[in-house]
Amino acid sequence: MELRQLRYFLAVARERNFSRAAEILHIAQPPLSRQIQQLEDELGVLLIDRSNRPLDLTEAGRFFYEQAGQIIARIENMREQTRKIGLSRRERYVIGCVGSTLYGGIPDLVRRMRERWPDLDIEIREMMSTEQVTALKERRIDVGFGRVRFNDREIERLTLREERLVVAFPKGHPKSLSTEPIGLAELDGEPLVIYPSAPRPSFADEVLNMLSEQGISPGSVEEVREIQTALGIVAAGMSLCIIPTASQRQRPDDVCYRIIKDENATSPIIMSFRRDDAKGRIEEIKQLIREMYADNPPWLQLSNVQLDRA
Amino acid sequence: MELRQLRYFLAVARERNFSRAAEILHIAQPPLSRQIQQLEDELGVLLIDRSNRPLDLTEAGRFFYEQAGQIIARIENMREQTRKIGLSRRERYVIGCVGSTLYGGIPDLVRRMRERWPDLDIEIREMMSTEQVTALKERRIDVGFGRVRFNDREIERLTLREERLVVAFPKGHPKSLSTEPIGLAELDGEPLVIYPSAPRPSFADEVLNMLSEQGISPGSVEEVREIQTALGIVAAGMSLCIIPTASQRQRPDDVCYRIIKDENATSPIIMSFRRDDAKGRIEEIKQLIREMYADNPPWLQLSNVQLDRA
DNA sequence: CCATGATCATACCTTTTAGGTATAAAATTC
DNA sequence: GAATTTTATACCTAAAAGGTATGATCATGG
């Protein structure tokens, strides 16, 4: 599969006519026909129903069209941003963080950093934990706040906090009537929605691993991009979801939450950085975090802080 | 730019060595070198710093690496899902909706639909308004709930509600101290974060258009993927954000909101469907919405309902 | 219902591009 | 500073994309 094929398909889907799409793409109609056939061969499903005019998309084609459109747009955006960055002059400091840490103290930390270093171009990069290690090694980010534990000789890791997990239920679900902590075993056979679906491994995999370690098998598993979509699906009564405690204040009208009582049902907040950097700005960031700790913000609970652990 | 080049670049970035990356990719080193150079030529910026070993990524390369990795993963996911859909048998009913409508009544509606049609495979597809019209025409979705008005001969559109907009401020911002409705003019010169950045046009463009129609020029404009990232950036004190009223209950500790008093500062919730379908399941969905209306849920305010308008 | 026109698929050919080999240039290591 | 490793360049071959001609299929109008 190549982007050229996605572009060709999008044109055909929009025009519902190979000949017109070919004109728009400035190629002849037969190569266009062949390229789409190659794409369909590679996928193993038909994307276009050619048995009537104008052409219709199949169910798979409808899905593929939306996805391909988003990917092409994403490519354009990536190109523009890459150029912008490549031609820029200010010093950048990139913070990689898992989406759920944006609910907690990261915005506060960023405020303090900006006060401390007004000329620094700070960027927040939403990024899964697994990506952060690689990203640090390749200097694509400068510090990371994630959820998943990794070991790597070049990367130093501090656990800031162990956060408990909760189950999100639609209002009215039989198991939502109690507010007692719930055992993971009660999720056996229940439909689950997990997030984020990409990149992997992610928090989604942490959840799946946690369940499979205890031999718990959900009824079905659906993957979505982000927590909002997940909670919308929960609210619709379609699935349950496991999320960190900090994220649970959402949708109080139609979603409710129960803490999971199992010992291992926690998710750490981990700060990662290159060992090389340990004496530089990282030391000052740690100090900023200590100051936040001294201010005792809600997300930084005393019992779990391990800031200076090796 | 082709996916092959993204894959080649990712391999080089990971290995920090063209020769090893070439081995992994099962090609010779010179064509790999050329492909990366072509990519850099097309972008107009260097992605790799070749002046030392092992290789480093440039700032642009660091960004490109993260983005390319996500895109490749997204492509794999799209491939899998496309196949899954192509080989499935149940009747699908796809609801396209803008993210912010998931805060409101859509989950309730989906619950009612699932009760009404237990065998229907209902999917929620997060999709911008502009996409919904095209998606309906191409039968990629079956009904849409969006925010942006479009006119199209084949698509029928009902305005369910006009929702007011609010400005999100970081706690402590001078203009956050009042809870009075705020005029758009007060945003002149303020840094703004808008969302969603893709696909366009989107709610982000609605906001930009609203401001430019009144000659209001924000200090800077940053685009992000989703509202969570936007509110995290607001909480960090970096920008302000305009969001719909229904979305404002988030982050009460570090973000506060002021209703915008300007008359045009509203965002409609619009139900769209194919005219062809008007007599089918759409009629029953309207009835379900009326029932929701009768139950008077918070998001469906009486004064703005226009359900049976032509 | 059939002829005609429009549109997609197939066969064969040409052009373009990706990839391979040889080797020069540049960086690192000893 | 020499030797080794790694990347870039020149030239060539192979593979793939695209073009033309035409057959097959679908829709429309008489």
Contact A102 B228 (CB under 8 A): yes
Which of A46-55, A201-210, B258-267 is predicted with the least confidence, judged by mean pLDDT? A201-210
pLDDT beyond 80 at B102: no
Structure confidence at residue B279 as a pLDDT band (50, 70, 90): low
Number of A–B residue contacts, CB under 8 Å: 249
More confident residue, A74 or A1: A1
Q: What pLDDT is attached to residue B284?
A: 84
> What proportion of chain B, given as a percentage, has pLDDT over 90?
21
How is chain A classified by DSSP, letter by letter?
--HHHHHHHHHHHHHT-HHHHHHHHTS-HHHHHHHHHHHHHHHTS--EE-SSSS-EE-HHHHHHHHHHHHHHHHHHHHHHHHHHHHT--SPEEEEEE-GGGGGTTHHHHHHHHHHH-TT-EEEEEE--HHHHHHHHHTTS-SEEEESS----TTEEEEEEEEEEEEEEEETT-GGGS--S-B-GGGGTT-EEEE---SSSSSHHHHHHHHHHHTT---SEEEE-SSHHHHHHHHHTTS-BEEEEGGGTTS-TTTEEEEEB-STT-EEEEEEEEEGGGGGTHHHHHHHHHHHHHHT--TTS-GGG--TT--
Contact A138 B57 (CB under 8 A): yes
* Rounded distance between C-alpha atoms, residue B170 and residue B157, angstroms: 36
User: What letter does residue B16 receive in the DSSP assignment?
Assistant: T
Residues of B in contact with A103 (CB under 8 A): 228, 232, 251
Task: Report which of A102, A53, A71, A87 is spatially closest to residue A9, judged by C-alpha positions.
Answer: A71
Q: What pLDDT is attached to residue B267?
A: 82
Q: Which of A63-77, B18-32, B63-77 has the highest mean pLDDT?
A: B18-32
Q: What Å value separates CA A34 and C1' C12? A: 14
User: Going by CATH, does the domain composed of B164-266 fall within 3.20.20.100?
Assistant: no
Which of A212-221, B129-138, B294-303 is predicted with the least confidence, judged by mean pLDDT? B294-303
| Nucleotide nearest to B19 in CA–C1' terms | D6
Residue B49's beta-bridge partner residues? B56
Does an H or E element contain B228, and which? helix B227-235
Domain residue spans in chain B? 3-86, 94-160+268-304, 164-266
* Rounded distance between C-alpha atoms, residue A94 and residue B18, angstroms: 26
Q: What pLDDT is attached to residue A90?
A: 61
More confident residue, B37 or A205: B37
Structure confidence at residue B89 as a pLDDT band (50, 70, 90): low
Structure confidence at residue A305 as a pLDDT band (50, 70, 90): very low
pLDDT beyond 90 at B69: no
pLDDT beyond 50 at B305: no
> What average pLDDT does this structure show over B61-80?
85
Q: To which CATH superfamily is domain B94-160+268-304 assigned? A: Periplasmic binding protein-like II (3.40.190.10)
pLDDT beyond 70 at A154: yes
Q: What Å value separates CA A209 and C1' D16? A: 43
User: Going by CATH, does the domain composed of A92-160+267-304 fall within 3.40.190.10?
Assistant: yes
Chain-wide mean pLDDT for chain B?
81
Equal CATH topology for A92-160+267-304 and A165-266: yes
Q: What Å value separates CA A29 and C1' D21? A: 13
Q: For residue range B203-242, list pLDDT tens digits in order.
A: 787 788 788 778 887 877 777 767 777 888 888 888 899 9
Residues of A in contact with B82 (CB under 8 A): 43, 45, 47, 60, 63-64, 67
Structure confidence at residue B253 as a pLDDT band (50, 70, 90): confident
Tell me which of 3.40.190.10, 1.10.10.10, 3.20.20.70, 2.60.120.680 is the CATH number of domain A3-86.
1.10.10.10
Q: What pLDDT is attached to residue B310?
A: 32
> What proportion of chain B, given as a percentage, has pLDDT over 70?
88
Length of chain A: 310
Contact flag, residue A58 CB and nucleic strand C, below 7 A: no
| Nucleotide nearest to B30 in CA–C1' terms | D8
Q: For residue range A174-199, list pLDDT tens digits in order.
A: 888 888 899 998 888 888 888 876 55
Q: For residue range A17-37, list pLDDT tens digits in order.
A: 999 999 999 999 999 999 999
Nearest CA of chain B to the CA of A207: how many Å? 19
Q: Is B98 helix (H, G, I), strand (E, B) or coil?
A: coil
Q: For residue range A212-266, list pLDDT tens digits in order.
A: 778 887 877 777 767 777 888 888 888 899 998 877 777 777 889 999 998 888 8
Structure confidence at residue A302 as a pLDDT band (50, 70, 90): very low
Q: For residue range A95-152, list pLDDT tens digits in order.
A: 888 766 766 677 778 878 877 887 777 777 777 777 788 778 777 788 998 877 777 7
Q: For residue range A265-285, list pLDDT tens digits in order.
A: 888 888 888 887 766 788 888
Residue of A nearest to B200 (CA): A73
pLDDT beyond 70 at A308: no
The complex scores an ipTM of 0.57
Q: What pLDDT is attached to residue B302?
A: 34
Top-level class of domain A165-266 = alpha beta
Q: Which of A50-64, A100-114, A237-251, B5-19 has the highest mean pLDDT?
A: B5-19
